[in-house]
Chains A and B, each alone.
Chain A
């Protein structure tokens, strides 16, 4: 077997497989978006505009969207085999992701303390399921970045590069979903 093409062939397989997986995730989120649209605003209980808070949403969005940009630093480093760039990119992305998570938790916490729980009305139910599922994706991404940092030390570079690239796709995807959430969940009720 021609070993030089192996990592290329297998990475191609994996990339296609992972893109298909992201498509599956996209269908799941699409279903949740549909659910949200059907149930919002609810005929009773709080209206979204009474619940959402501009400041948290804006700050959370800034950090999450920026983190997609900072991940590009790591991507550049990956191609140039520049460990410093990779580490810098990953660490900044991780920090921004963590800050986003802070705002998410803060938002959920504020809502609950204000009495807007999951069983308050159907708008809030679908909101929590949709945004909560997204937040758990971000959380998983943070966990994944820690794993990546360790993998860099233990795995051959090509394999690490492959795993890192797969993570990049994931993180960008999670970002795109957030844009969807902004457009469908928040913006109609904040403007």
Chain B
């Protein structure tokens, strides 16, 4: 759309107009609905809480919101590619580039990560007998950093400036010389802010798992989801700071005339190294927690303990470790030379071994069990073959010389959707259905859950299986068009049908949640799945500080054995102190400050940078003199005297 305003020609793409219109119509409706239903006290309660369950739920709610946004992007992509020489709406050229960049970045950083971190928040403390995460206040900060980063990234589209250099933001394309608009500044600051939040979440998780376990719950007795969370958190500690510095260097290239990745002195390949030193562990950061979820669910719904527990833990650790030694397999075509290429090919293949161990252990956990096919277990069962297919294409891709054919084609697109959706997304769904009672006290409808599962799984394979073939037939990724002679129409057409099936399946999730909460059904009680781990010993939804009577753990799956023997878990006499909760709006202050700061940088307004910087420092002052522990410590000192 074009029009003249005060003599200037204003060009507004219709997709941006549509977005604004839907917000302007939608926002008042939502506000009205919240007011009518009297939800505001609940919203306020969640927004100012530091309770791990509430923050976990917030993570999941916003991740699902972003999931729908990025999912709609995916449908636009599929619409543009549905047939050869197609022109769907505005999604050609730059608009298409913006939409696949947004889809990828958002799905990884603002959907997959927070879904998993949200589930960790809800489940991990309960599984290890902790009354909350070690640093409840920091947990709230971490969440708000994620939300702020996500919203900054989300907002880009509304100002017609969505990032457009791909989620990998390869230099020099991502530098000022080639993409001079504010677009990729949104990318930098969205990731920088949310990345800091992820680091805080990881620190919190590690300290919680290492120091707040119930008495007797040795690391070797811990369920596998906390184990996976622990190892994942260590991966985050190494991977995310590297990303932070890579983004910082890119920022210096874009804003201040440095030439790290551009020009005669710059090395564009250095960006790729930094990005993948972060990026490959990131893949395992997404996969490992899902592995943990599946281990717990498969064991629970087979009514059997995990087969080969020790090798499961070792495999997790090995995958994490090897994850740092394989980054250059994303760069086989850069010209690093045959020595580097074969080295990284072999390390990559080695990862298949611990992964295979896990798959067989899952299968043998099911053997001789009693398999209940309820929704969480269905997702776990769907995961095994799907993920194995992604895994084997992974080994095929590891073969360096062959990868020169697959690299940057739809074969790769198919592969990483198989592994990431296969593990992370199916895992998050499984976890969502599994722990929903812990969050809300209700079980999601099983029948609708099965509809969701089957539609999603069938849609998924329809979408991504043909893409292997499209890739082998020479279709590069990130193209918005192909010709009839390319011979990839059929694959793309099937792909688009599948994508819409996946989209439809997500409507069942909404319907399910609506249906579950419409009726005032009774609380399902603490243990709806006949669970094995500690979270099923506390009420649903879980109250604050549920372990006032701290259980003593004497073996793995202690709750299960106690139930079998008809006794309750013994209670500890002198448990350690619990973290102190607080009701606080300070994270909101930080969120506002960082939003100002980020927009100051994105649009290069120095006064706003100064304002945002001062506000951020102000937050530190605010926090320094408002510590929730002041009262408790004062009381302790008085008791001492």
Contact = CB atoms under 8 A, between A and B. Distances in A.
A143 B620 CA distance: 10
Interface string A86-126: 00000000000000000000000000000001110110011
A128 to B, nearest CB: 8
A126 B260 contact: yes
B108 interface: no
B266 interface: yes
A119 B258 contact: yes
B203 A119 contact: no
B372 interface: no
Contacts of B637: 156-158
| Size class of the contact patch on chain B | 35 or more
Contact of A4 (B237, B242, B640): B640
B577 A38 contact: no
Contacts of A143: 617, 620
A24 B636 contact: no
Residue with the greatest number of chain B CB neighbours at <10 A, chosen from A6, A121, A155 = A6
A173 interface: no
A39 B135 CA distance: 40
A107 B541 CA distance: 59
Contact of B625 (A17, A24, A32, A154): A154
Closest 6 CB pairs of A and B: A119-B257, A125-B258, A27-B241, A6-B577, A9-B577, A31-B245
Contacts of B264: 43-44
Contact of A122 (B138, B238, B265, B617): B265
Residue with the greatest number of chain B CB neighbours at <10 A, chosen from A3, A13, A16, A44 = A13
A20 B138 CA distance: 14
21 contacts: A7-B633, A10-B580, A13-B135, A13-B579, A16-B210, A24-B199, A27-B242, A31-B245, A31-B274, A38-B270, A44-B264, A44-B265, A118-B258, A119-B258, A119-B259, A122-B265, A125-B258, A147-B621, A155-B627, A155-B630, A159-B630
Contacts of A5: 576-577
A21 B241 CA distance: 10
Contacts of A1: 575, 577-578
B135 A129 contact: no
Nearest to B238: A27
A6 B632 contact: yes
Interface in A37-51: 38-39, 42-44
B249 interface: yes
Interface string B214-254: 00000000000000000000000110111011101100100
Nearest to A21: B203
Contacts of A83: none
A17 B237 CA distance: 12
Given A24-B237, A31-B245, A39 B633 contact: no
B635 interface: yes
Contacts of A14: 135
A13 B207 contact: yes
Interface of A: 1-7, 9-10, 12-14, 16-17, 20-21, 23-25, 27-28, 31-32, 35, 38-39, 42-44, 117-119, 121-122, 125-126, 128-129, 143, 147, 150-151, 154-159, 163
Nearest to B637: A156
Given A23-B237, A39-B265, A17 B134 contact: yes
Contact of A35 (B260, B575, B629): B260
Nearest to B580: A10
Given A147-B621, A159-B633, A28 B577 contact: no
B204 interface: yes
Contacts of B274: 31
B257 A147 contact: no
Interface string B194-215: 0000010001101100111000
B37 interface: no
B567 interface: no
A10 B103 CA distance: 41
Contacts of B241: 24-25, 27-28, 31
A104 to B, nearest CB: 18
B634 interface: yes
B565 interface: no
A133 B245 CA distance: 11
Given A2-B574, A119-B258, A151-B625, A28 B244 contact: yes
Nearest to B631: A156
B199 A129 contact: no
Nearest to B208: A13
Contacts of B625: 150-151, 154
Contacts of A128: 258
B638 to A, nearest CB: 9
B267 interface: yes
Nearest to B135: A17
A2 B575 CA distance: 8
Given A17-B207, A24-B241, 15 more contacts: A3-B636, A6-B577, A13-B134, A16-B207, A25-B241, A31-B274, A32-B245, A43-B265, A44-B265, A119-B258, A125-B259, A128-B258, A129-B248, A147-B620, A155-B630
Nearest to A122: B265
Given A9-B576, A118-B256, A129 B249 contact: yes
Contact of B624 (A12, A121, A147): A147
A98 B259 CA distance: 31
A31 B242 contact: yes
A134 to B, nearest CB: 13
B522 interface: no
A118 B252 CA distance: 9
A16 B267 CA distance: 38
A144 to B, nearest CB: 8
B237 A39 contact: no
Interface in B590-641: 617, 620-621, 624-625, 627, 629-630, 632-637, 639-640
Contact of A20 (B203, B260, B580): B203
B626 to A, nearest CB: 10
A151 B624 contact: yes
B240 to A, nearest CB: 8
Contacts of A12: 211
Nearest to B576: A9
Contacts of B580: 10
Contact of B636 (A6, A20, A38): A6
Nearest to B548: A1
A90 to B, nearest CB: 15
B332 to A, nearest CB: 21
Contacts of A150: 624-625
Nearest to B266: A122
Contact of B206 (A2, A20, A43, A122): A20
Interface in B260-274: 260, 264-267, 270, 274
Nearest to B236: A24
Contacts of A163: 624
A10 to B, nearest CB: 6
